[in-house]
Chain A
Amino acid sequence: MEELVNLFHGFAVALQPFNIMVMVVGIVLGVLIGVLPGLGGANGVAILLPLTFSMSPTSAIIMLSCIYWGALFGGAITSILFNIPGEPWSVATTFDGYPMAQKGKAGEALTAAFTSSFVGALFAVVMITLVAPLVASFALQFGPAEKFAVYFLAFCSFVGLSKEPPFKTIAAMMIGFALAAVGLDSITGQLRLTFGMTHLLNGFDFLIAVIGLFGIGEILLTMEEGLAFRGGNAKINLRVVLQTWKELPAYWITSLRSCLIGCWMGVTPAGATPASFMSYGIAKRVAKKGNNFGKGEIEGVVAPETAAHAAGTAALLPMLSLGVPGSPTAAVLLGGLLIWGLQPGPMLFVEQKEFVWGLIASMYLGNIVGLLVVLTCVPVFAAILRVPFSIIAPLILVLCAIGAYSVHSSTFDVVLMLVFGVIGYLLKKANYPLAPLVLAIVLGDKAEEAFRQSLLGSQGSLGIFFSNTLVSSIMVLGLIALFWSAIQQGYTRLRGATA
């Protein structure tokens, strides 16, 4: 009950006129940042951080977290309209969102994405409100072995579900792992595969690869198909929002499952990217229309978006209560907390009640404001698809180039983006799936790091991955996901034999 009293006190803080203004400004800035691929939430928050030093800490965190929500909402827009995910966790949204847009259902896809994001975030905030202390102690159980198990599960649920021949999926994933290995080996402190080139010191940034593989690759494909931009007949009035809302409750099981996956991944802190992939993979497996996934199924937008937002929101909990950021953006926010003189950690909830509950209340309000802002803009976004391709393609190209440049302020990255574009085009032509490649670039080095940390700790024994109930159960789940189709086949055969 004390939590509820605190929360209402928090609402009183967040509802001050100045704070509401700050909230709306933050959301709008955030959506703009999210729409520009490459700029991303973390960069956006970092750039705007100094602006907030003259505000009170509570107003400042409300503004920054609203930029974060806005960027999360905005990331879905380019994924759906142009197949260009602006953030790692938007990749899974493109799988069904972009085909929907091509079928002329951009409005539906956007509405579904925004609404699911809102549901996921809301679920996570409610969880933060009610069980914050409990959840924080759960996060402490995650050492390197447990973290590796989670990444393992993400990879397995992805390989197992793929419709492409397993060979092609594995091949694409291996290319991704190889690319992820470039740069500094964080365990030995040695450089790997850089061939003495200073440009490669940082390895291949995920964003550059994705902007190239998806965005540029897609433009090349469309050019080949005769410059036609499919999806121009998208409905552009607000009725589409209401129609989609009528449809959405049918997917409540998927939503709930995605919320749970998202919260779990956000707290652990594996983050939003594995959450969105895992949620998409499981939904594809268990949904009635699972076979249609990848061809423009609305459920395929609901699952990753819900999970990504639940995870993105839940990631703030370990940051506040333990001082460990669950996402890059949370890391920048953490820096902000310290500058405002707030010490994240177990004592923050005790000593800085007004701040913590003001922030939590602003999560509720910020998401409502965000949903209203982006939903009213759905027709505008959908109308972009009516612009002729010959006009929009150069614009997208310029946006992609700016995005790629802004990641590290380096022109080399722009060249790299174009190279990835050609690779993406060729892989698509040869029917190799891009998603496993991207998944491996994003999670490859983290998985490797966790794996080697675990083995250092266990002095080389693989037994560490089955050393306690938590880690063994995640590993077993992963193995089941990996061999799911084999298990299913064996089961049907068994049934056939007995019948």
Chain B
Amino acid sequence: MKHAAHTALGALAAICALGMSAPAIAAWEPVRPVEFIVPAGTGGGADQMARTIQGIVTKHNLMKQPLVVINKSGGAGGEGFLDVKSSGGNPHKIIITLSNLFTTPLATGIPFSWKDLTPVAMLALDEFVLWVNAEKPYKTAKEYIEAVKAAPAGSMKMGGTGSKQEDQIITVAVEKATGSKFTYIPYKGGGEVAVQLVGNHVDSTVNNPIEAVAQWRGGKLRPLCVFDAQPMAYDEQIADGKSWKDIPTCKSQGLDMEYVMLRGIFMSPRATKDQIEYYVELFKKVRATPEWQDFMKSGAFNTTFLTGADYAKWLETEDKRHQTLMKDAGFLAAAGN
């Protein structure tokens, strides 16, 4: 009897395998619509990425159940993270993160940490570039920093997205590395920041490539350096005969600061191995589509893909680093009160 059952199971598995085009059969699949939480407002970088993924999944039929994007931006994203944290054991909820995964609990004291969630995969890393208005004479980061140092302390304005988040962390780190002093002005969104720079209402920004590329191509902005360990990989010409690859690293310009932003996926707590595996496979398929590759190229993303233990280790390191950066900058909630 036992033997017969095995044979029957084997036959069943064979039929299933024949029915599927992919060799790996996911042991778990969503049985109702999956909520895709964005801990930021509509139109921002994380939101764009989430909606692109949603579009790709729909267009290529990668999921049997719909993927629904929901923005929960309250409290610098804390609303979204708390929502996922409190949905333990619900595999139909995933969240895309930005650096507020680390900064929001530190700056606001909202009770959560990335360890409360289940890491799924790192999709990409977003770069940061130092931008100035193209009308200004500064051709290199060195020239610009000299000008900032020469000006009265605090008279040069750095525009950025949000307060006590990635843009301001970088600003403070630049100040520390060079002994300069900026006045940091927080705005709601990256696109707005880029336009404020075009209108000369601020002196520089650390916009992500996708937020400022249109203004660079329009000849309004000039990139000075990228805050990464090596130059970006894309060598397609963008403006005045330059490509992303031609932008030097800030370190090579004497500005010793590296910062990249996580675009990663997490699940609610207590997810099973099969469930994690399902989403990892899903995002592997998303990454293989031409739409995704176009999107990566248009935003000059660093396309590192990590899962499992490697991803967790990366998160661990970045978490420690953010604690140090935030503490040094005086951005911790306890210090602020």
Q: Of A198, A323, A328, A338, which contacts B79 at CB under 8 A? A: A198
* Chain A 185-212 per-residue mask, 1 if CB under 8 angstroms from chain B, else 0: 1111111001000100111000000000
Tell me whether A190 and B336 are in contact (CB under 8 A). Answer: yes
Q: Counting CB contacts under 8 A, is A244 at the interface?
A: no
Q: Counting CB contacts under 8 A, is B72 at the interface?
A: yes
Q: Which residues of B contact A202 (CB under 8 A)?
A: 72-75, 79
Interface residues of A in 1-48 (CB under 8 A from B): 42, 46
Tell me whether B79 and A140 are in contact (CB under 8 A). Answer: no
Q: Which residues of A contact B59 (CB under 8 A)?
A: 53-54
Q: Of A50, A53, A341, A409, which contacts B294 at CB under 8 A? A: A341
Interface residues of A in 426-476 (CB under 8 A from B): 449, 453, 456-457, 459
- Interface stretch of the complex, out of A61-69, A81-89, A90-98, A342-350: A342-350
Tell me whether A189 and B162 are in contact (CB under 8 A). Answer: yes
Tell me whether B298 and A338 are in contact (CB under 8 A). Answer: yes
Tell me whether A201 and B75 are in contact (CB under 8 A). Answer: yes
Q: Which residues of A contact B107 (CB under 8 A)?
A: 189-190
Tell me whether A346 and B183 are in contact (CB under 8 A). Answer: no
Distance in angstroms from A42 CB to nearest chain B CB is: 7
- Interface stretch of the complex, out of B4-12, B214-222, B264-272: B214-222
Given contacts A184-B76, A322-B195, contact A346 B164 (CB under 8 A): no
Tell me whether B199 and A141 are in contact (CB under 8 A). Answer: yes
Q: Counting CB contacts under 8 A, is A480 at the interface?
A: no
Tell me whether A339 and B75 are in contact (CB under 8 A). Answer: no
Tell me whether A334 and B217 are in contact (CB under 8 A). Answer: no
Q: Counting CB contacts under 8 A, is A394 at the interface?
A: no
Q: Counting CB contacts under 8 A, is B69 at the interface?
A: yes
Tell me whether B51 and A345 are in contact (CB under 8 A). Answer: no
Given contacts A453-B187, A456-B185, contact A50 B54 (CB under 8 A): yes
Distance in angstroms from B318 CB to nearest chain A CB is: 19
* Chain B 251-275 per-residue mask, 1 if CB under 8 angstroms from chain A, else 0: 0000000000000000000000000
Q: Counting CB contacts under 8 A, is B108 at the interface?
A: yes
Tell me whether B75 and A140 are in contact (CB under 8 A). Answer: no
Q: Which residues of B contact A142 (CB under 8 A)?
A: 199
Q: Counting CB contacts under 8 A, is B42 at the interface?
A: yes
Given contacts A457-B157, A457-B185, contact A201 B78 (CB under 8 A): yes
Given contacts A346-B214, A459-B183, contact A335 B47 (CB under 8 A): yes
* Chain A 131-155 per-residue mask, 1 if CB under 8 angstroms from chain B, else 0: 0000000011111100000000000
Distance in angstroms from A266 CB to nearest chain B CB is: 15
Q: Which residues of A contact B164 (CB under 8 A)?
A: 188-189
Distance in angstroms from A366 CB to nearest chain B CB is: 22
Distance in angstroms from A490 CB to nearest chain B CB is: 38
Tell me whether A334 and B214 are in contact (CB under 8 A). Answer: no
Distance in angstroms from B102 CB to nearest chain A CB is: 13
Q: Which residues of A contact B73 (CB under 8 A)?
A: 202
Q: Counting CB contacts under 8 A, is A332 at the interface?
A: yes
* Chain B 52-80 per-residue mask, 1 if CB under 8 angstroms from chain A, else 0: 10111011000000000110111110110
In angstroms, Cα B298 to Cα A118, docked, is 37
Q: Which residues of A contact B163 (CB under 8 A)?
A: 185-189
* Interface residue range, chain B: 35 or more
In angstroms, Cα B192 to Cα A54, docked, is 30
In angstroms, Cα B76 to Cα A335, docked, is 20
Distance in angstroms from B153 CB to nearest chain A CB is: 10
Q: Of B75, B82, B162, which contacts A191 at CB under 8 A? A: B75
Tell me whether A191 and B108 are in contact (CB under 8 A). Answer: yes
In angstroms, Cα B56 to Cα A201, docked, is 32
Distance in angstroms from B219 CB to nearest chain A CB is: 8
Q: Which residues of B contact A187 (CB under 8 A)?
A: 163, 186
Q: Which residues of B contact A479 (CB under 8 A)?
A: none
Q: Counting CB contacts under 8 A, is A493 at the interface?
A: no
Interface residues of B in 6-65 (CB under 8 A from A): 41-43, 47-48, 51-52, 54-56, 58-59
Distance in angstroms from A283 CB to nearest chain B CB is: 31
Q: Counting CB contacts under 8 A, is B198 at the interface?
A: yes
Tell me whether B72 and A408 are in contact (CB under 8 A). Answer: yes
Q: Which residues of A contact B186 (CB under 8 A)?
A: 186-187, 189, 453
Distance in angstroms from A152 CB to nearest chain B CB is: 18
* Chain A 339-376 per-residue mask, 1 if CB under 8 angstroms from chain B, else 0: 10101111110000000000000000000000000000
Number of A-B contacts (CB under 8 A): 158
Distance in angstroms from A27 CB to nearest chain B CB is: 22
* Complex: chain A residue closest to B299, CB-CB: A338
Given contacts A140-B195, A334-B43, A334-B191, contact A343 B213 (CB under 8 A): yes
In angstroms, Cα B333 to Cα A409, docked, is 29
Q: Counting CB contacts under 8 A, is A324 at the interface?
A: yes
In angstroms, Cα B202 to Cα A184, docked, is 23
Q: Counting CB contacts under 8 A, is B308 at the interface?
A: no
Interface residues of A in 91-139 (CB under 8 A from B): 139
* Complex: chain A residue closest to B59, CB-CB: A53
In angstroms, Cα B59 to Cα A332, docked, is 19
Q: Counting CB contacts under 8 A, is A403 at the interface?
A: no
Q: Counting CB contacts under 8 A, is A402 at the interface?
A: no
* Complex: chain A residue closest to B73, CB-CB: A202
Distance in angstroms from A462 CB to nearest chain B CB is: 16
Q: Which residues of A contact B70 (CB under 8 A)?
A: 409
Tell me whether B82 and A198 are in contact (CB under 8 A). Answer: yes
Q: Of A324, A336, A343, which contacts B192 at CB under 8 A? A: A324
Distance in angstroms from A118 CB to nearest chain B CB is: 27
Q: Which residues of A contact B220 (CB under 8 A)?
A: 346
Q: Counting CB contacts under 8 A, is A312 at the interface?
A: no
Q: Of A140, A453, A459, which contacts B198 at CB under 8 A? A: A140
Q: Counting CB contacts under 8 A, is A49 at the interface?
A: yes
Q: Which residues of B contact A51 (CB under 8 A)?
A: 58
Q: Which residues of B contact A141 (CB under 8 A)?
A: 199
Distance in angstroms from A293 CB to nearest chain B CB is: 34
Q: Give the residue among A54, A408, A449 with the most B Cβ atoms within 10 A.
A: A408
Q: Which residues of B contact A338 (CB under 8 A)?
A: 48, 52, 210, 295, 298
In angstroms, Cα B157 to Cα A459, docked, is 10
Q: Which residues of B contact A346 (CB under 8 A)?
A: 214-215, 217-220
Tell me whether B75 and A183 are in contact (CB under 8 A). Answer: yes
Given contacts A53-B55, A188-B163, A189-B163, contact A323 B194 (CB under 8 A): yes
Q: Which residues of A contact B155 (CB under 8 A)?
A: 459
In angstroms, Cα B78 to Cα A334, docked, is 25
Distance in angstroms from A135 CB to nearest chain B CB is: 14
Distance in angstroms from A454 CB to nearest chain B CB is: 9
Q: Which residues of A contact B191 (CB under 8 A)?
A: 322-325, 334
Q: Counting CB contacts under 8 A, is B244 at the interface?
A: no
Q: Counting CB contacts under 8 A, is B165 at the interface?
A: yes
* Chain B 312-337 per-residue mask, 1 if CB under 8 angstroms from chain A, else 0: 00000000000000000001010011
List 18 A-B pairs, Cβ < 8 Å: A46-B69, A49-B51, A51-B58, A53-B56, A139-B195, A184-B74, A198-B82, A323-B194, A323-B215, A328-B42, A334-B191, A336-B51, A339-B52, A344-B214, A345-B217, A346-B218, A456-B184, A456-B185
Closest 5 CB pairs of A and B: A345-B214, A202-B74, A346-B218, A201-B75, A331-B43
List the interface of chain A (C-beta within 8 A of B). Answer: 42, 46, 49-51, 53-54, 139-144, 183-191, 194, 198, 201-203, 322-325, 328, 331-332, 334-336, 338-339, 341, 343-348, 408-409, 449, 453, 456-457, 459
9 extra A-B contacts, CB within 8 A, seeds A189-B107, A338-B48: A142-B199, A184-B76, A187-B186, A198-B78, A332-B42, A338-B298, A339-B48, A346-B219, A456-B183
